[in-house]
Amino acid sequence: MKYGARNQLIGRVKGIKQGTLMSQVTLEIPANSQMSSVMTLDSLEELGIKEGDKVQIIVKAVNVLLAKD
């Protein structure tokens, strides 16, 4: 499958927290780092994502903001 987003990584699912409508998927990514994705429970089930799975991470953002005190 092709995507217009240029920011793509491969990661491994480290943990999944499920709420009543949404889930937070924590991912291990290169350089010993982590990131998270929030998705609906329906999407989580449809994709069949489970802890330990290798996944493609596609990042598409309108704004990336940095701040410094």
Element (H, E) at 5: none
What's the pLDDT at 65?
A: 73
Calculated CA dihedral for residues 60, 28, 20, 65, nearest 10 degrees? -40
Structural domains present in the chain? 7-59 (2.40.50.100)
Q: Is the overall model pTM greater than 0.85, yes or no?
A: no
Tell me the mean pLDDT in the region 17-26. Answer: 96
Helix intervals (H) in 1-69? 41-47
Query: 24-67: per-residue pLDDT in tens?
Result: 999 999 989 999 999 999 999 999 999 999 999 988 877 777 67
Report yes or no: 44 and 23 within 8 Å, Cβ to Cβ: yes
pLDDT at site 21: 96
How far apart (Å, rounded) are the C-alpha atoms in residues 65 and 63? 6
